[in-house]
Amino acid sequence: MSADRTFVIVGAGHAGGRAAQAMRQYGFDGRILLIGKEPHIPYERPPLSKELIVTDAGLEAGLEKVRLHEAAWYAENRIELIAGTAATALDAAAKTVGLADGRTIGFDRLMLTTGARVRTLPVPGAGLDGVFYLRTIEDSETIRAHISAGTRVAVIGGGFIGLEIAGSAVKRGAEVAVLEAADRPMGRSVAPEVSEWFARMHRDRGVDLRLGISIAAIEGNGSATGIRLGDGSVVPAEVVVIGIGILPNVEIAQAAGLAVDNGIVVDDRGRTSHPDIYAAGDVANQPNAFTGRRLRLESYQNAQDQAAAVARNLCGADEAYEDSLWVWSDQHDVNLQMTGAPEAWDSLVWRGDPDEGRFTVFYLAGGRIVAVNTVNNGREMRPARMMMESGKAFEVDALADTSVKLLKLARG
C-alpha cells in the first residue's frame, strides 16, 4: 500500500516510536523517517524518576530497560531513524522539513511528536552545580549519580515527578525535602483529602514536605548548598531537583503557521490546521470526548494510544481517538492510579481503609462517577473505569462495600 509515499515523524520519543510501529502494523509500505533530537532509539520515560534513580543501572543498561524496541527493529521494519538530529524548520506549503545537519526532507504526510521540555525556575542560583531537571535518560543518570546515603536533596515541586524523585531518593538513603508552592501536593490532579493522605505518607517515610512556600534563591558558591525560602529560612541541600512542569515543544509548528494554543491544536483525528500534518503525544492539544473540552495530556497512555490512532489516520484510517484518561505514579512503595477528570465533584466515596494503605476513591457528581483513584489497589482500576465510562449512577453504599466485587457492579 502506498509504496511510493513518504511519511516523516518528527520527535523520536514514546509517541514517535509508537507511531512508526502503528504505521507498519496498519500496512503502510512506503518510506518512514523518524527524526529525533536525542542520540538514542525511542524510550519510555516513566522509569526515569522511579527504578532508574533507585538502581545503579548506568546509562547503557538503563536504556536497554526502557527502550520501546531493540535497535535492530528499526532496520527490520524499514524505519529510517535519524537520531541526534533536530528538525529545525518546517515548510508546510512545500511539505519539507529542514534538519540541523542541513538536510531537507520532503514528505507526503508529517506527524509531529515533539513532546515537551521542562519548565525552568527563574531564581538566583538556578545555574549552580548540583541543580537538576529531569526529562531525559541522561538527566536521570546524572541525578542518580549525585545521590547516595546521607545526601541532602531538595526537590522543588510537589507534583508527580517531584514526589516520585523524593521517594526514589529516600530509597537511596538520602535526606529529602520537598518544597511545594501550593497548600497541598498533586493539587491539580487529586482531591484535597487524597493529597492529605499522600502528604502524610511522604512525611511518615521521612520526607520533609513543606507546603505553601516560595523560593527566593538557590544558595551556593559554584555548587548548591541550600535553598533560601521567601521567609528567609534556608533548607540545606547539595542536590536540588526542580520539577515544576513542562512546556510543549511547539516552535517548529508555530513558525510554520500551524494553529498553536497550549500545544499544537489538532482535531479528534489528530490532524493539525494543515491537512497533511498531524500531531500526537505531550505536544498535541486534542478535543476530549470524555470531558467535553480540549486537553493536552501528559501521560504514557496518551503517548502510546493516541500516537497509534493518529498514525493510522495518516495511513488512511478515519478514527477518532477517545481517552478516558488514565495515569499512574509510584511514590515510595505506593502505587497511585487515576482515571477520569477530577475537576468538579460533589462527594467522595472511600472504599477500603486508608490507614491500611490500600483503597479506592470514587469522585461522584450527581451520582455519576467522574474520576477514580486507586492507591495500592490497581486491580480495581479496570472495573472502576468500566463503571465510570458507563455513565450509570451507583449506590454509595455499594461502592463503599468491599465485600461486593467491583466487577460485579460494573457488569450489573
Residues in contact with ligand FAD by the rule CB under 6 A: 10-16, 35-38, 45-46, 48-49, 86-87, 113-116, 134-135, 161, 249, 252, 281-283, 298-301, 303, 327-329
**Minimum separation from the CB atom of position 86 to ligand FAD (A):** 4
Give least dist CB 343 to ligand FAD, A. Answer: 18
Nearer to ligand FAD, 35 or 227 (CB): 35
Give the residue with the Cβ less far from ligand FAD, 114 or 285: 114
Distance CA 148, CA 145 (A): 8
Least distance (Å) from ligand FAD to the CB of residue 258? Answer: 13
Within 210-358, residue ranges assigned H as helices are 251-255, 300-301, 307-315
Considering the complex, state which of residue 31 and residue 135 has its C-beta at the smaller distance from ligand FAD: 135
- Complex with ligand FAD: residue 116 or 209, whichever CB lies closer: 116
Question: How far is the CA of 95 from the CAs of 90, 105, 169, 325, in angstroms?
Answer: 8, 8, 46, 33
Task: Report the alpha-carbon distance of residue 307 to residue 19 in Å, rounded.
Answer: 5
- Compute the least distance from the CB of residue 55 to ligand FAD, in Å: 15
Contact 13, 113 (CB under 8 A): yes
3-state secondary structure of 201: helix
Q: How far is the CB of 72 from ligand FAD (least distance, A)?
A: 20
| Residue closer to ligand FAD, measured from CB, 9 or 364 | 9
Q: Within 35-153, where are the H helices? A: 51-54, 59-66, 71-76, 137-146
Distance in angstroms (rounded) separating the CA atoms of residues 7 and 141 = 33
At what angle are helices 160-171 and 192-204 packed, to 10 degrees?
A: 20
Please identify the residue of the shown chain whose CB is closest to the bound ligand FAD. 13
Exposed, middle or buried: residue 29 (CB in 10 Å: 0-12, 13-18, 19+)? middle
- For residue 363, the surrounding DSSP H or E stretch is strand 359-365
**Residue (109 or 349) nearer to ligand FAD, CB:** 109
In whole angstroms, the minimum distance from the beta carbon of 405 to ligand FAD comes to 27
